[in-house]
Amino acid sequence: MHRLTLTVSLLTLTPLDALAVRPFVTDDARIVDEGQVTSEVWLETASTGGPWEDSLHTLIGTSVTQWLELTAVSTFGLETGFGNDISNPVFQAKTLLLPAVADGPVGIAVSLGYIPELGQGPSHIAGDGGYALALITKRLNEDRLLLHTNLGF
């Protein structure tokens, strides 16, 4: 199992040409406790070659069972006034196939997401879409270090 983890880690570090993905989606192979609701809010400053832009990201998720988590995410641009720039929301279902064990085997999960054509302003993307991710998490050094690998389309 260590050889597989090392091989996957090295492959993810190999530099290759990349296409920009929008929205960028990443996750880990863990599920919040059953019945728990999690909420995250963070500010981001980014530039894609033009001026720097600030945005506020919000995430809310809940674990329906110990193996299934549902999440919703949206982004609000702050440059044009709050509420004038709202990205397409992302709705995701994640299923835990194998839980990660501290200093033990990797955790494996899969997630499916849907991005409807909702929102307005510069962050809005015309059309809708979806994605699928395979998620791998390795818990090391008594959970002081977590390694996450995502493979998706």
Confidence of residue 24 (pLDDT cuts 50, 70, 90): low
Q: pLDDT tens across 25-65, in order?
A: 667 777 778 889 988 888 888 776 777 878 888 889 999 99
pLDDT tens, position by position, 61-108: 999 998 999 999 988 887 665 557 888 899 999 999 999 999 999 999
As for how many domains the chain has, the answer is 1
Please report the beta strands in 2-80, taking only residues with DSSP state E, as ranges in sequence order: 37-46, 53-65, 68-77
Write the CB contacts of 131 (distance below 8 Å, at least 6 apart in sequence): 25, 112, 113, 115, 152, 153
Structural domain harbouring 140: 2-152
